[in-house]
Chains A and B, each alone.
Chain A
Amino acid sequence: MSIQPTFLITDLLFFALTISLIAFVFVVRKRPHLSRPWSQVLKSTTGSVSLMILLFYYAIALVDSVHFHPRVAQATESQYQYSSEVHSLLDVLMTPMRSRMEKTFSAPLATHSFAKEMMQNEAGQLQRDYPRLNYGGAHLAQPEDQKAADIISISLQASAQALFYWALIWLFMLWLYSQRNNQGLATLLANVLKAKTTYPLRAIAITSAVLMLLTVVSMQLGQHYHLFGTDKVGQDVFYQAVKSVRTGILIGVLTTLITLPLAILLGALAGFFRGWVDDVIQYIYTTLNSIPHVLLIAAAVLLLQVYMSGHADDFDSLTERADLRLLFLCLILGITSWTGLCRLLRAETFKLREMEYIQAAEAFGVSKFKILMRHVMPNFMHIVIISVVLDFSGLVLAEAVLSYINIGVDPSMNSWGNMINQARLEMARDPIVWWSLSAAFVFMFTLVLFANLFADVVRDALDPRVVRGEQ
C-alpha cells in the first residue's frame, strides 16, 4: 500500500450524515405526499440550479474528507513508513498547487514576486527588483511577452476540452432519457433548448457547463500559474480557498447533528406534555438564549484552548487537533442555535396537539410515545427541514466571523474566516493585496447566495402557509 487511510472524527460524521441524506432521498421518493414539494423545488429553475451548485460544493467537501497518510520515500523492505501528515483525495487532485510554495506574496497569475528583493543581475551587480517566482509561469522564457498568449491558449484548450466532455455526457444522458420515455432525441433536444421540459433541464445544462468550464480551466491554469496568487508565506490562494470549502460545509451540516435532536426532542416534549415539562424546557432555552451567543462561543473556545494547551500531548498531529477543534466549534454552535427551532417546534406541537386526529388516536388508547412518533413528529418535519436549510448559510457566515475574532476554527486550518483574518492585515499595503480577500469572498458568497436562494425555494415549497396564500 502506498497510502494508509485515516479517518478523522469529522470525516466519519460527515460520511454518516451523507449516507442518511441519501437514505432520506430514497424514503421521500417513495412517498408522494413527501416528494411532491421536493419535485416542486426541482421544477423551479432557481431551486435546481442552486441545488446543483450546493451539490458541487458538497462534492468538493466530500472528496476533501477522504484522508490518508502518504507513504514516506525511505521505507524499509518489510515495513512501510507513513508520513505523519494527513492528506486528502482533494490534495491529490490538486497536486501541484499544494506543494508549490513561493517565498511570499504574488499577484494572481503573476510570474514575478510581489515584493522587491536584493538580487544579482546579469552584470553581477546587486539591485532591488521583483524576482521570478519558483513555479508561477516558470515554464516561460520571456514571461513579459509570452504570458498573455500562454494563459489564453491554456484557457482555450481547457475550455474546448471541458465543453467537449460536457456535450458528450449530456447527449448520452438525454439519449438515455429519450429511450426510457420513448421520445425522439431530436424533439427532446428541441424541448430542452426551448425550456419546455418539466424540470428545467436547460438551466441545469447551462449550470453544469459553467461549473465544468470553471473547474477544468482553473485546474489547467493552476498547473502553471497561481490562479489567485499566493499569500504571505507563499501558499497558493486558490488552493486555500478550495480547501476552505470543506470547513464551511462541515460547519453548516455537522452543527445540525447537535441542533436537531435537541430541538426536536425538547420542542415536541414541551408542546405535547405542557405543564411542568414545558416550564423546565422553556427555562432551559430562555436561559441559554439570553447569554450572548458570541460570548458563549468565545468563552467555550477559550476554555478549549486552555484545555488543549494543557494537554498538548494527547493529540497525535496538528491536523487531528484542528479537527477536534472544528468538531467542538460545531458542538458549541449547535448548543447556541437549537433554541430557535425548539421554540418553533414547541409552538407547532401545541397546535398539532389540538388536531382531531390526535384526539382520535387518544380515543383508541394509543400510547403517548406512539402518538408523538406517528402523529406529531411527521407533521412538523417540514419546519425542521426548512430551518436546517435556512440556518446553513448563517452558519457558514458565522464561521468567518468567529475565525476572524480568533474564536473559530484552528488557525492552522484552511477556512475563509482565517483567510480574511490573515489578509486584512495586508489591507494597509500599497499597492493593496486584494486577492486573498477576493478569493474568500467569491467562494463564500457563491455558496451562501445559492444556499439562501435554495432555502427560499424550499420554504415556499414546504410551508403550507405559503400554499394557502396562493390560492
Chain B
Amino acid sequence: MSLLIVNGLSTEIRGRGESNLVVRDISFRVERGETLALVGESGSGKSMTALSIARLLPPAAQVSAGEIKLSGRDLMQISEREMRDVRGSKIAMIFQEPMNSLNPVLTIGDQIAECVRRHQSVTRSAARQQSIELLAAVGLPVPQRNIDEYPHQLSGGMRQRVMIAIALAAQPDLLIADEPTTALDVTIQAQVLDLLKDLQSQFNMGLLFITHDLAVVKQTVDRIAVMHQGELVEHGTNEAFFASPKHAYSRALLAAIPTAQKRLQRDLEQDAKRVSAVAQPEAEDAAGPILSVRNLQVHFPIRGGVFRRAVDYVRAVDDVSFDLHAGKTLALVGESGCGKTTVGKAILQLLKSNQGSVQFQQRDLQTLGNEDLRKIRQDLQIVFQDPYSSLNPRMLVGDILEEGMTALAVLKTTQDRKRKIKLLLDQVGLPADSVLRYPHEFSGGQRQRISIARALAVEPKLIVCDEPTSALDVSVQAQVLNLLIDLQEELGMSYLFITHDMAVVSYLADEVAVMHQGQIVEQGPTEQILLQPQHHYTQKLLAAVPSL
C-alpha cells in the first residue's frame, strides 16, 4: 500500500462571488522512503496541493473534490480533531521562510518540545533531552546552548535546520517540504538538501518536495510531477523526465534554464546573423575600459553607546577593483550579503563610498560636482531586481519612461519624446498602447521590460543590472535575459550584471568577478572561472550549484 495517495484532488479559492480552481483534478502517490518532487512556477498550485494534503488551507480556500489517503486512511473524511493527531505525527511540514515560520518570542527548545509532547506522553525534561538530540541530528553546532536561543539569533540555514528538527520531532511518515531552500544561499542550500536526504533514508520517510527549481530536483528526487496552472501535466521518474520530457510545457521549462551550452548555441546563431549583415559596427575597444573601479570601499557605521557614535563599521565593500570594457558584460557574482548590490549603487553614486575611485569614461565620478554628475547619469543607468517596487504604481507607463528624458533633457520636445517612447516599447517588445496604462496592469516579466525601457530611454553606455531576473519565473527569466542580450547586440551597451545565479552567469557574462564578504576573490573570463576556479570559495560555490 502506498504511503500517500492523492486521487482527483481539486482545490478552489473563493473570492467575492466567484471561485477559482487553483488545483484541478490531480492524482499522484508517494511511497515510503521515496521522494516525489512537485515542480511548477509561481501560481501553478503546488503549494496549495501541499496545504490541501495537510488540511492547512487558508480560510478562503477549500478542497472541492478528490480523496487523499495516508496509509489507507482518507484524510478528507476524518474530523478536525483526528486530523490534528495526524499533523505532526504522520505528516510534517517545512516551509520556505524559516524566519517567519518560527515563533519569534518562543525559544527553539519550546517550539520543538511542544511538538514532541503533543504526540508522545513524555515528561518535560525528557522532551527537552529529545529536542537536544534532534538539534544535534540536524547539525546545529551547540545543541545544548542553541535550545535556549530564539530564532532571530540563528542564521537562515540554521533556522531551516530547526524547522526540520520540529518536523522530525514526532517521527512522521510523510514529510512535505515546501520550497525549503528557496530563501537560502546556494552553499547553504546544498547542505540543507544533503541533510534532508540523509534524514529521509534514516527515518524511511516519504518526502514530498515542492520546488520551482529543476536543477535542485535532478539531484534530489526519485520521481517528478510537473504542475502547470493547477494541472499535473507530466509525471515520471527522474531519469525518464530529464532524458525525454513528454509534455510541451516540461520541455519549455527545461529549455528556459540558462546554461553555457545554450549560450554557445545562441552565439552561433548570432554569428550567423552577423555574417549575413553587411556592415557591422566594431566595438570601440581600443579606448580602454569604459568603467574602471579601483580599491572601492563602502563602510556602514554601526552606532552604539549613549550618543550613538559609530563604534564599528560593516565593511560592505572592502577594496574592490575591476574593469569593464565597452559592449561587454561583467557578472558580479556572490551570495546574499556579500556586498555586490552595494558596489552597483556606489558606482551609480546612489551611495557614498569611503575610498577608492570609480572611473567612468576616464572621469572619476566621485570628484564630479552635481551638475557634471547629472550629465554623466545619462550614460549610466540601472535595472532593479523587484519588478513590483521598481515602478511607481501611481504613474502611467508613458510618464515613467519620459521621466528620465525630461530630467536629463535628452530630448527637448514632447513630440520627440513621444516618438522615442514608442520606439522603446517596440524594442522591449511591449504594445504601443502601454503608455496609457499603469504598472499594475502588467505581469512581472512585462514590468521588467518596462524597467529596461526606462533605462534605455536616455541611451546609456552602461547599465547596472541588479539581479534583474531573480524575482521572475524561469520561463520569463529566459525571455528577459534574451532581450538584454539582443539589446546589447543592437545598441552596444556594457552591462554590469549583479547576480547570485551561476546559470545566468554562464549564459551571458563575458567576464566574471566573484565576491565574498565585501571582496572580489577571483575574476577572469567566464569560461576560465567556471571551468578552472582557483580560489577555494569559488570552488565551493560552483560545487554547491545544482546542475542539470
Contact = CB atoms under 8 A, between A and B. Distances in A.
User: Is A–B contact present in the complex under a CB 8 A cutoff?
Assistant: yes
Given A357-B389, A359-B350, A378 B394 contact: yes
B384 A364 contact: no
Interface string A449-471: 00000000000000000000010
Interface string A19-44: 00000000000001100000000000
A165 to B, nearest CB: 35
B149 to A, nearest CB: 29
Interface string B256-275: 00000000000000000000
A287 to B, nearest CB: 20
A302 B421 CA distance: 62
A356 B390 contact: yes
Contact of B458 (A32, A359, A362, A364): A364
Contact of A359 (B384, B400, B403): B384
B535 interface: no
A355 B388 CA distance: 9
Contacts of B150: none
Interface string B402-414: 0110011000000
A363 interface: yes
Interface string A246-262: 00000000000000000
B245 to A, nearest CB: 32
Nearest to A367: B407
Contacts of A424: none
Nearest to B457: A364
A360 B390 contact: yes
Contacts of A356: 384-386, 389-390
A363 B349 CA distance: 8
A375 B458 CA distance: 20
A355 B389 contact: yes
A365 B395 contact: no
A12 interface: no
Interface string B356-373: 000000000000000001
A374 B407 CA distance: 13
B382 A33 contact: no
B266 to A, nearest CB: 29
Nearest to A351: B389
A359 B344 CA distance: 12
A355 B386 CA distance: 9
Given A33-B440, A355-B389, A359-B382, A365 B394 contact: no
A364 B403 contact: yes
Nearest to A381: B394
A363 B348 contact: yes
A379 interface: yes
Contacts of B438: 32-33
B350 A363 contact: yes
Q: Which of A357, A359, A361, A370 has the most CB of B within 10 A?
A: A357
A363 B377 contact: yes
B60 interface: yes
Contact of A365 (B374, B393, B400, B455): B374
Contacts of B391: 357
Given A33-B438, A33-B440, A363 B393 contact: no
Interface majority SS (helix, strand, loop, mixed), chain A: helix
Interface in A363-406: 363-367, 370, 374-375, 378-379
Contacts of A365: 373-374, 377, 407-408
Contacts of A359: 345, 350, 382, 384
A366 B407 contact: yes
B408 A375 contact: no
B392 interface: yes
A357 B394 CA distance: 11
B177 interface: no
Nearest to A33: B438
Contacts of A364: 377, 403-404, 407-408, 458
B392 A375 contact: yes
B292 interface: no
Contact of A379 (B345, B382, B392, B454): B392
Contact of A357 (B392, B407, B408): B392
A374 B403 CA distance: 10
Contacts of B394: 33, 378-379
B393 A33 contact: yes
A363 B378 CA distance: 9
A310 B406 CA distance: 58
Interface in B1-58: 15
Contacts of B374: 365
Contact of A360 (B60, B380, B384): B384
Contacts of B392: 355, 357, 374-375, 378-379
Contacts of B469: none
B290 to A, nearest CB: 17
A355 B403 CA distance: 16
B131 interface: no
B381 interface: yes
| Residue among B345, B395, B455 with most chain A CB within 10 A | B395
A33 B458 CA distance: 28
Contacts of B386: 356
B382 A360 contact: yes
Given A32-B438, A33-B440, A470-B60, A362 B390 contact: no
B453 to A, nearest CB: 12
Given A363-B382, A365-B377, A370-B407, 12 more contacts: A33-B440, A356-B389, A357-B390, A359-B382, A363-B377, A364-B407, A374-B395, A378-B392, A378-B394, A378-B395, A379-B392, A379-B393
Interface of A: 32-33, 355-357, 359-367, 370, 374-375, 378-379, 470
8 smallest CB-CB distances across A and B, nearest first, come from A356-B384, A356-B390, A364-B404, A365-B374, A378-B394, A366-B407, A357-B392, A364-B407
28 contacts: A32-B438, A33-B393, A33-B440, A355-B390, A356-B386, A356-B389, A356-B390, A357-B389, A359-B350, A360-B382, A360-B384, A360-B451, A362-B350, A363-B348, A363-B350, A363-B380, A363-B382, A364-B377, A364-B403, A364-B407, A365-B407, A366-B403, A367-B407, A370-B407, A374-B403, A375-B392, A378-B392, A378-B395
